Amino acid sequence: MRRTPLIATCLALAAPVRAEPTHPKDDDGDPKLSLPTEADRLAWQRGGFRLGLGAVYGSFMGSRGAPSGRLLGVALRAGVRLDEAWSLLTSFQYASVARAGGLSGLRFAGTIDPTYHATPNLSLAVGFGFGGLVEGTTGRADPDPKASTLDTSYTFPNALTPVASCSGIGVAGLVRGEWAYVLGPRTQTSLALEVDAQWTGCVDETGRVEPDTGEAIVRRQYWAHTGVTLSWGVAWR
């Protein structure tokens, strides 16, 4: 039987149409692998600014008659990590110092501390700068000669009989060993053992002046102290 052109056309239209597979358009592009993350401890070994705050507890021991006391206060540290091995820090310490019959007041100090990082956790520092004492009423007996008997300034030969109240400033130094533990890329905590030394020039104002020169009459006494402190702190970079 011969098909007419009309029948052939109808059969072609009725045949199923095979759909071509389609793929959804990928708007995100080709996948990319993430870059490796730097370890937190390696970030702390790079150069940059450092800031630390800590609590201090220890003892401040006088020698050659200077009174002693217990230290309790805070320490502030700021500086720059120069490279993997070295940092240059400045340290400031403010602490109450007290003991019955001994020191009763405030001890302050500021030093510049070149610091060597022996390992990623252990650092050693040596510092040099200034330190001072400010005392109020202490209850210590006032040594001779009394201020009321002086017509000129007087310097005590030693501190075997300490002045009743010392306010003065002098040189200070320290040696510090510190163990640090990295908490994150921006924060670390540390425990430090520090040995301090301070030479203080106490100045006792008498409130009187020399009749010939008009200069203030004062009594001076020099105190030597060594201290041992334990501190815990947190640092940021």
Residues 90-147 have pLDDT tens digits of 999 999 999 988 999 999 999 999 999 999 999 999 999 999 999 988 888 889 998 8
Is a pLDDT exceeding 70 seen at residue 4? no
Lowest mean pLDDT among 27-31, 169-173, 175-179: 27-31
Q: What is the mean pLDDT of residues 186-205?
A: 95
Is a pLDDT exceeding 50 seen at residue 87? yes
Q: What is the mean pLDDT of residues 190-207?
A: 94
Structure confidence at residue 35 (pLDDT): 45
Delineate the domains of the chain, giving CATH numbers in brackets.
Answer: 52-139+147-236 (2.40.160.20)
Q: Name the band, by pLDDT with cuts 50, 70 and 90, for residue 42.
A: confident
Count CA atoms within 13 Å of residue 185 on its CB side: 4
Structure confidence at residue 36 (pLDDT): 44
Q: Which residue has the tokens 């075997």?
A: 160
Structure confidence at residue 6 (pLDDT): 56
Angle, CA 203 vertex, CA 174 and CA 59 arms, to 5°: 35
